Amino acid sequence: MRHGRSTLPTPTSTHSFWHSEPNEFLLGHRTTEELPAEADIVIVGSGITGSSAAKYLAEDERAEGKSIVLLEAREACWGATGRNGGHCQPLLFDRGAEVAAFELKNVDTVKAYIDTHNVPCEWRTVSGCRTFWTEEVIAEAEREIQHLQKTAPEIADKVSIIRDKDELKRHRVNPDCLGATLTRGAGSLWPYKLVTFILEKLVRDGRINLQTTTPVTEITSSDATHTLHTPRGAITAKTVILATNGYTSALVPTFADLIVPVRGEMSALLPPTNSALLPDSYGMVAALGQPANNDDYLIQRPFAAVPNPAGHLMFGGGRGAGTLPTIGVSDDSIVDVDSAAYLRRALLRVLELGGETAGVRELAATAEWTGIMGYSRDDHPWVGQVPEREGLWLAGGYTGHGMPNGTLCGKAVVEMVLGGLAGEHGAAVQQRLVQSGDLPRSYVVSKERIERARGWPTVEVQDKGGVRVNGVV
């Protein structure tokens, strides 16, 4: 069984709260009126990965003098990064120590850029409080942390387990919860504002040519040159970087069963009157009868010192409560009313929000929307050259966990591209990245990995069977 290809991004989409304060400079932006006929490097996709790849290209002297064109199907950062949950939270005990170290490095890199450039994106350093609502899932987490303590104690030191009911209450968790993990080194932010800051700076500095509302409908290749077809004409390049995540198979059909689009639900909820800011970011595993392989996730916006300081509860998930299909779906123009209703009601039951909650059955939503994640068949991102497509590169398949991965995955694919252009053998570049901790070995694209991944059940079969795929948007 194989999944069908993703569609292209829909021309219209649900209204993400993160787009309520759009970057006016980038709306409808086209650096040149006409689409260039050719470029040295073309990037497709303007989310966290595409913008990071563009930034690292612009900073690298090996790319000096090379023309860089970035194509976006809709407005800048209008896909998953502009629709996600606002988390930049490493998962330290789910996928092994190598991945945990990489995600920690990624979060540090994002924070350093924000601090250096004073990016107004509401960054808040928090602990990640992941709550577990059945004995089975908390016991599994405890086993994984015990393994981490043996294999990577310095990383395990950043994770603690909470079973004590009074301690759960201090973290504003309903004491009916069976336990939680607390992870240091997480952050929350307004992701669209970070990405559009990066893109605007690159455009104003003359480093990239950004072409919005220019969907790539097809890529044809001949003699190691790629032609990207759009409704506005074609552009050719020897090097193409796909930062298209859940939409990847629309352009690379061979990845249809390896990176599968999955529609997720998000909301911006008004907190109870007179409530106080929550101390952490949150995940909820198997809460309120939800399947154990579908997490809910929450951050809270500030109550002061920012535009529109309403303390919005940015809450996503509820996939198990929905009635519409999600796996293999690449249409984000639709809200699942049942998932949305779950999100409006669940926080009153799983957290102690405080404030005036007497008689309140659900929270008021300022916005409800959907976004398209890219679930990887083997639960790891794909970073590298598409096999048998010289010059066509890929970074994506984050399984709903792109913010603590996309920045350094973008950097790694740039290192592969520029190393190859400088005559360095691809395997040598990959080995250097792995040895330096700049890319987990499990992320590298290879024919062998593709064959292994196809030995797994499909994403749909895994999901139906309850295989744990950690979707923290």
Residue 105 lies in a domain: no
Residue 90 near residue 185, CB atoms below 8 Å: yes
Could you give the CA distance from residue 156 to residue 154 in angstroms, rounded to a whole number? 6
The per-residue pLDDT for range 64-94, each reduced to its tens digit, is 999 999 999 999 999 999 999 999 999 999 8
Residue range(s) defining the domain that contains residue 75: 17-82+192-259+378-464
Residue 473 banded pLDDT, cuts 50, 70, 90: very low
Q: Which two tokens stand for residue 53?
A: 């790849």
Residue 336 lies in a domain: yes
Say if residue 300 is exposed, middle or buried (CB neighbours under 10 Å; 0-12, 13-18, 19+).
Answer: buried
Residue 49 near residue 406, CB atoms below 8 Å: yes
- Type of residue at 55: K
Could you give the CA distance from residue 445 to residue 430 in angstroms, rounded to a whole number? 10
Say if residue 33 is exposed, middle or buried (CB neighbours under 10 Å; 0-12, 13-18, 19+).
Answer: exposed
Shared domain for 202 and 318, answered yes or no, is: no
| Final residue in a domain of this structure, among 341, 373, 405 | 373
Shared domain for 181 and 293, answered yes or no, is: yes
Residue 471 near residue 295, CB atoms below 8 Å: yes
Could you give the CA distance from residue 98 to residue 433 in angstroms, rounded to a whole number? 12
SS3 content of the chain, % helix, strand, coil (to 5): 35, 25, 45
Residue 3 banded pLDDT, cuts 50, 70, 90: low
Shared domain for 139 and 285, answered yes or no, is: yes
| CA angle, residues 143, 147, 151, in degrees to nearest 5 | 170
Domains contained in the chain, number? 2
Q: What is the CATH number of the domain that holds 426?
A: 3.50.50.60
pLDDT of residue 472: 40
Q: Which residues, 6+ apart, have CB-to-CB distance to 25 below 8 Å? A: 200, 203
Residue 188 near residue 86, CB atoms below 8 Å: yes
Shared domain for 407 and 419, answered yes or no, is: yes
Residue 332 lies in a domain: yes
Shared domain for 139 and 29, answered yes or no, is: no
| Final residue in a domain of this structure, among 373, 408, 443 | 373
Shared domain for 171 and 296, answered yes or no, is: yes
Residue 183 lies in a domain: yes
The per-residue pLDDT for range 378-395, each reduced to its tens digit, is 999 999 999 999 999 999
Residue 226 lies in a domain: yes
| Final residue in a domain of this structure, among 373, 399, 431 | 373
Shared domain for 362 and 328, answered yes or no, is: yes
Q: Which two tokens stand for residue 18?
A: 């993160």
- Residue 4 scores a pLDDT above 90: no
DSSP 57-116: HHH-GGGTT--EEEE-SSSTT-SGGGTS--EE----SSS-HHHHHHHHHHHHHHHHHHHH
Closest CA to 92 of 134, 168, 154: 154
Residue 10 lies in a domain: no
Summary mean pLDDT of the chain:
96
The per-residue pLDDT for range 159-202, each reduced to its tens digit, is 999 999 999 999 999 999 999 999 998 999 999 999 999 999 99
pLDDT of residue 467: 61
- Residue 288 scores a pLDDT above 80: yes
| CA angle, residues 192, 315, 283, in degrees to nearest 5 | 105
Shared domain for 170 and 221, answered yes or no, is: no
Residue 1 banded pLDDT, cuts 50, 70, 90: very low
